[in-house]
Amino acid sequence: MAGLFAEPWSDPDDARLRAACAPRTGWAGFHYDCGLPPDKLKVLLHEAARAKLRVCGIRASMADSFIDVARYAPIDDLRWVVAHPATLSGEQIAGIRDNGMVVTTHTGAYIWRRAAATLRQVGKAQEHTICPIRSLLDAGVPVSLATDNVPISLWPCIWHAVERMDRETGGVIAPTQRIGREEALRCATTHGAWLCLDENERGSLEPGKQADLIVLRDNPLTMEASALSAVRPDMTWVGGKKVFAAGQD
């Protein structure tokens, strides 16, 4: 069940070069010569599953590792996270669903910036596997949109998921994987709360939950799609307190 796409930064030569530049390894918190070999990773994941610990793994190949572990130690109630998958096959999606995992995407990279490059690598017949949010949702997998810190706002991610525009070509990548606006908003709110184990506190406006909300001038369900990525709130409330109002210091 090998992944379809190899991350550029996972290349061994690239990793060695970055490690040689320590402590300047590229991103804060990353160190490229401390990864575990597959046999030791397998042992670690098995012990985490038995101890009922939650695990987050980056790249689609970690889904394969998680699925393999689940054959021996159930993880279906632990919400293990598959983060930033560039591509996912139907078999991987089924394994993610069957083992109670959640996916958090990086649409800024794998739809907006690198989709054309990924398509060249996997081929037209596998285009539907590129950041396949539609397939994940249809399978019943919670998908949480994410920015990987830049930008802070999730509105570009909502636009990516809805329109799936590729920056390099200006065209649409994997149009069958488009999702609706309301679905995208749920991926940015309730699904994110579920991923963070905060579904009883955040993610929706209900009695007993924290009153975190924004006030918008335009309706994101009906506004021009091209404007979705640039939405800015008129007001922001956190825990029931107004912390921002447009035009006020």
Closest CA to 75 of 46, 103, 104, 38: 46
Q: Which domain holds residue 145?
A: 8-205
Tens of pLDDT along 188-205?
999 999 999 999 999 999
- The structural domain count of the chain equals 1
Do the domain assignments include residue 157?
Answer: yes
The SS3 of residue 241 is strand
Q: pLDDT-derived band of residue 13, with 50, 70 and 90 as boundaries?
A: confident
Do the domain assignments include residue 115?
Answer: yes
Tens of pLDDT along 35-92?
678 899 999 999 999 999 999 998 899 999 999 999 999 999 999 999 999 999 999 9
Tens of pLDDT along 202-224?
999 999 999 999 999 999 999 99
Do the domain assignments include residue 245?
Answer: no
Tens of pLDDT along 90-143?
999 999 999 999 999 999 999 999 999 999 999 999 999 999 999 999 999 999
Residue 28 clears pLDDT 90, i.e. is over it: no
Do the domain assignments include residue 218?
Answer: no
Neighbours of 117 (CB within 10 A): 15
Q: What pTM was estimated for this model as a whole?
A: 0.89
CA atoms lying within 13 Å on the CB side of residue 40: 4
The CATH number that applies at residue 67 is 3.20.20.140
